Amino acid sequence: MQPQELATLLKSSKAPKPLVFYVGPEIFYRQAHIPGAEFLGPDARPEGVEKLHNRAATLPRSSFIVIYCGCCPWSHCPNIHPAYDELKKMGFSKVRVLFLETSFGTNWADKGFPVQKGS
């Protein structure tokens, strides 16, 4: 999913809002994150995957979920694949991944899309 598409969805009063899960390191989340995004920790670690699993376990499998990280260039992100695989393994059918080619800063914050600071 491209940043513009998610930003439009979040801004729209008519479109169904996805649950947005952040699956990267905390230090980036605390500096800036997508408003309303839930911090679930880096999924490169088993404890991150466990936290995501526990959070998702309470949700209907038809939930619209967007996951994102943006800690480093997309091609090397250690967190996105484990998070996506876990949600698909759990049976979620509407999982989208936010495409942040370089970083959250470059491809989201610097584009002027909304951000929220703090934990």
Contacting residues toward other proteins, per CB under 8 A: 25-28, 30-32, 42, 44, 70-73, 76, 78, 102-106, 109-110
Name the residue nearer to other proteins (CB basis): 3 or 92: 3
Least Cα distance to 73 among 105, 44, 43, 102 occurs for 102
Measure the CA–CA gap between 66 and 21, rounded to whole angstroms. 6
* Residue 43 and residue 95 in contact, taking contact as beta carbons nearer than 8 Å: no
Tokens for 88, please give them.
């698909």
Name the residue nearer to other proteins (CB basis): 26 or 85: 26
Name the residue nearer to other proteins (CB basis): 64 or 74: 74
Name the residue nearer to other proteins (CB basis): 32 or 90: 32
Min separation Cβ 81 and other proteins, Å: 13
Min separation Cβ 57 and other proteins, Å: 25
What backbone phi and psi angles, to 5 degrees, belong to 115? -135, 155
